[in-house]
Structure 1
Amino acid sequence: MSAFRRTALCLASILLLLFGSMITASSAQAQQATFTNPLNGSGSDPWMTYHDGNYYLMTTTWTGPLTMKKAPTIAGLKNAAAVPVFTDFPADRDHYVWAPEFHFLNGPNGPRWYIYYSAGAAGIEDQRIHVAESAGTDPMGPYTYKGMIFGANNWWGIDGNVVTIDGSLYLLWSGVPGRWTGNDPSVYIVRLSDPWTVTGARTMISTPEYDWENVGTPMNEGPAALQHDGRTFVTYSASNCQTPDYRLGLLELTGSNPLDANAWTKDPEPVFERNDAAGVYGPAHNGFFKSPDGTEDWIVYHANDSATDGCGNTRNTRIQEFNWNPDGTPNFGTPVSTSTVLPVPSGESEPPSSRLQSYNFQDRYVRHADYDVRIDPAVSPAQDGRFRLVPGLANDGTGYVSFESVNFPGHYLRHSNYDMVLAPDNGTALFAQDATFRQVAGLADASWSSFQSYNFPTRYLRHDNYLLRIDPISDATGRADATFRVAS
């Protein structure tokens, strides 16, 4: 082979490699998932985390029950059902149910999730912080009530948040010296002897002092701890939430004793506030979470679309990534518009899902359509025909499954009067039973599958005139109708 041909072939190979790399990079870029805010139509005082493959989100419900959304992707979280996780609301704490947060802590019963929420009776003076504990390590609970966290102190307080500093657990909240009326809500801290019990005296570490903290009425509320590179920061919401100037301030623990007011340093300027050019007003009451791969820091907050919106259901939940300044302090940037397209948090991926193929109509697959369930050919949109086979809601033992919708996370296939529907999990035992099936060898072909109702074991999932239901099976037609392939 001549030197010329060798050179030409070498150049061609390099060009092919470069072209292939460009295609691969272009494909990866094209596949990068994106989203726009908000995450819901209405949702104030948000708290959010990523745990064990899923995002979890809670917002203010105003009354019981407390609900939680769960989904493996941001897109899924937008459609996810708000599932009741705590329903214990007697008359002395069934009003003004605000600002639920959930934290994974090592309590007396081992690692558990703890929900901190504000509630009282009929009047604002009754507001206190309450705690509920999970039965296990699932953020979705169930939860049991542990008590009013202030105990005999009976301090007024809202917006509880916890932080561990040098091995000790502390509660942050918005409180007042005495009665709420006539006092300026300020940020307090106290040590906890366990996740639901305060111990010792409280310390006020921030009170409204700057003009930007006094718009409408003086206010410091919604503290949220943020720790990075061995430093502890606390954001808080300043000014009245009825105004578009509701915004975030920042404290840093610059001393050694968190219970010493002089150990905290306040930034003299707000660190996150309205962005009129982007149409974002009152951005505050926030939390923080890590991206799925742990490489990015994200802020979750609520905001309004109009300067005239107030402190009610017009507020919705938004998220965006933030960074760190060279001096080690957080840089939250400015709140972005709802038209800004953002990349999803790093490391997010769609978990595996399956289709259910009919045995005797093999061009048809199970799908939901307007919450009914049927078998159809050429399912469109395709995600209507995809489900996650998750451990049975009523029995997570071997062989028991539930079918969770891919495009409506938190919605499951369940039977209702023997007909199959797609419905949001309402947290009840009946729902869990109706949505649980035992996967067995196919009644018409053992290499396929059939699904036996958990609470009606004489009945199986089958199609009838293309609609899905559960029925007793007694003949060859029924066996064929009740047989499916779990397909990719």
Structure 2
Amino acid sequence: MEIQQRASHDIQPLIEQRADPFICRHSDGYYYFVASVPEYDRIEIRRAQNLEKLVTSTPVVIWRKRETGILSANIWAPELHFIDDKWYVYFAAAHTTETNEGLFDHRMYVLENENDNPLEGSWMERGQVRTEWESFALDATTFEHNGSRYYVWAQKDPNIGGNSNLYISKMSNPWTLTGPQTMISLPEYDWEIIGYKVNEGAAFLRKGNLVFLSYSASATDFNQLLHGPT
């Protein structure tokens, strides 16, 4: 996330060396910040009563990757959500083996904490969010609309050429999809297929009873573009 500095429109990072940033403002008056850390080996949360103080707030590590096997590499794109009086972190993680370093072999996972303050209490692994395929998947987000909870994520369909599409499904609880799994976005336009055919990083915006979706497209470098709402 970026904030505008001075009248010269000089743009500076809010928090440096943090990819995939996510901020939520909770009813307790605090802003909570999570993101991918440079080592990709842990999930940490920081909080402050305004955005500027997030810069100097002390991050608290809530979970670390495993040494081998599942959940052992490339911890990416965490999001923090408060659902039914509990805190949840959605994130992507890869698994390592003797022949696999875990690059671009991610699955989606969930952590749960019953404490009022997500910087305290115990975080429990709720496991993998299972989809129709065992394939590259990441960038999950969730929202509630008209009494139902929805889950949106990016995933590689083995039957479709390209890298990742966006899908949506209803949820029976914060870690289980109840289906059907519906594709809502496929990289097809020129600005979505620069370098790679990618749709990912979905985020929802609400205005009244309307829900809007923004997302990222193309290679994860200076070519990646943000599109929304749609």
2:73 and 2:138 mapped to 1: Cα distance? 13
Distance 1:213 1:46, change over 3 A: same
* TM-score where L is the length of structure 1: 0.41
Following superposition, the deviation at residue 77 of structure 1 comes to 1.2
The answer on 1:93 being equivalent to 2:67 is no
Following superposition, the deviation at residue 156 of structure 1 comes to 3.0
The answer on 1:231 being equivalent to 2:194 is no
CA contact (8 A) 2:132 2:181 kept: no
Match for 1:160 among 122, 129, 140?
140
The answer on 1:37 being equivalent to 2:17 is no
The answer on 1:76 being equivalent to 2:50 is no
**1:57 aligned residue:** 33
Spell out the pairing of 1:382-401 with structure 2 (5 A cutoff): none
**1:184 aligned residue:** 163
1:156 and 1:217 mapped to 2: Cα distance? 14
Instruction: Return 5+ residue gaps in structure 2 as ranges.
Output: 1-9, 96-100
The answer on 1:221 being equivalent to 2:200 is yes
Distance 1:211 1:88, change over 3 A: closer
Over the aligned positions, Cα root-mean-square deviation in angstroms equals: 2.2
Following superposition, the deviation at residue 245 of structure 1 comes to 2.6
Name the count of aligned residue pairs: 212
Higher relative contact order (CA 8 A, sep 6+): 1
Following superposition, the deviation at residue 154 of structure 1 comes to 3.4
* Structure showing greater Rg: 1
Instruction: Return 5+ residue gaps in structure 1 as ranges.
Output: 1-34, 253-488
**1:115 aligned residue:** 89
CA contact (8 A) 1:173 1:187 kept: yes
2:104 and 2:226 mapped to 1: Cα distance? 25
Following superposition, the deviation at residue 53 of structure 1 comes to 2.5
Following superposition, the deviation at residue 55 of structure 1 comes to 1.6
Distance 1:194 1:133, change over 3 A: same
Amino acid at match of 1:161: T
Amino acid at match of 1:162: T
CA contact (8 A) 2:75 2:93 kept: yes
1:100 and 1:149 mapped to 2: Cα distance? 14
Following superposition, the deviation at residue 68 of structure 1 comes to 1.0
CA contact (8 A) 1:156 1:179 kept: no
The answer on 1:132 being equivalent to 2:111 is yes
CA contact (8 A) 2:105 2:135 kept: no
Amino acid at match of 1:100: P
1:48 and 1:233 mapped to 2: Cα distance? 17
2:126 and 2:145 mapped to 1: Cα distance? 23
Structure having the larger proportion of residues in helix? 1
**Sequence identity (%):** 31
